[in-house]
Amino acid sequence: MNLADAKKGLQAFVLAVKDAYPDDPIARRLRELGFVDGEPVKVVARSFFGGNPLVVQVGATRFALRRNEAQRITLQLGAA
pLDDT at 50: 73
The model's pLDDT over 55-65, given as tens digits with 9 standing for 90+, comes to 999 988 999 99
pLDDT at 54: 93
Q: How far apart are CA 53 and CA 45, in angstroms?
A: 9
The type of residue at 41 is V
> How distant, in Å, are the alpha carbons of 39, 50, 65 from that of 25?
20, 24, 15
* Residue 67, pLDDT above cutoff 80: yes
